[in-house]
Structure 1
C-alpha cells in the first residue's frame, strides 16, 4: 500500500510548473500583497482549483525547516582550507553546526557529512545549499536527512 505521507526533497527544476505557481501564490498571500486567493491565483496564472488541490502538499523546503536538523553529504576535492570555506558559508547563514565528519581522501576526493540545526535566525537553507554546491571544488551535495 502506498504511503501518502511520504516526503521527498527535490530540486526546483524537477517540480512541475503548477506546483511552483502554488508556492508563489501562497507567498503572495502570506506577504499580504494580495488579499484573496482569486487575486493570487490570477497573478501567478493558475486556477483556484489547482491552488486548493495542491496548497497543503507543497511548500518551500526552508519554510518548514526551522528548529530541525539537516544532514548534508558533500563530495569535494581535498584542497587545503576548503573545509573552512564550507564552514564559513554555514556560519554566514547562521546554521548551528552539530556534527562534522570528513572521510580520509581517496584519489584527492573526500566526503563530508555535516549536520546543522536550523534556528529561527538561520537564513534560507536552500540558498545555503546552492552556495555550497556552486563552489568549484564541490562535486555534489545531497540533503541526506531532515529531522
Structure 2
C-alpha cells in the first residue's frame, strides 16, 4: 500500500523544537544571515542531522501560498521539434519548467508530463492550456495537478 502524503496547517508554538529550529535555519540561510548550513545550525543550536531530516518537509505557510505549480500531461505526435515547441509556448507565457518526463514514442505518439512554475504566468492557466491545445501535434492535454489559481 502506498503512503499518501497529507499536509496540515499547524501553529508554530505546538511544533516540536527541532522543527521550529529547522525553520529558523532555513530563514537564516534565505536572508543570508548565515552562509552555510553548518553556521546556521550552530546559531540555532540544532544538529545537522535533525535539519536534514526535516528540511524538505516543513515550509512557511506564506511560501506555500505563493507557489503556483501546475503539472500537465500531453499526448503528442512524434515529430521533430514537438517538445521544444511545447516548451517555447510555456516559456513565452512566463512559466518556468520544473520537470519534464517523456516516454519513448509508440505508434507515432509520446506521452509528456511537464511540471511548471506558473507564479510569473502572463495571463491565466486557461489561456496557457488553450495555446498548448492549438498546436497541431498536441492530441491531448490534461491537468494532473494544480496549485495555481
Matched with 2:72 is 72
1:141 is matched with: 141
RMSD over aligned Cα atoms: 1.5
Aligned equivalents of 1:137 and 1:96: distance in 2? 22
Unaligned segments of structure 2, at least 5 residues: 1-64
Superposed counterparts of 1:83-94, under 5 Å:
83-94=83-94
TM-score (norm 1): 0.53
Deviation at 1:66, TM superposition (A): 6.0
* 1:111 counterpart residue number: 111
State how far apart, in whole Å, the 2-side matches of 1:86 and 1:140 are.
13
Q: 3-state SS of the aligned residue for 2:94?
A: coil
Residue in 2 that maps onto 1:122 = 121
Residues 95, 122 of structure 1: 8 Å contact kept: yes
5 Å-filtered alignment, 1:1-147, equals: 67-119=67-119, 121-123=120-122, 124-147=124-147
Deviation at 1:67, TM superposition (A): 2.5
Q: TM-score scaled by structure 2?
A: 0.52
Q: Give 1:91 deviation, angstroms.
A: 0.4
Which residue is equivalent to 2:39? Answer: none
Structure 1 residue runs of 4 or more that deviate by more than 2 Å after TM superposition: none
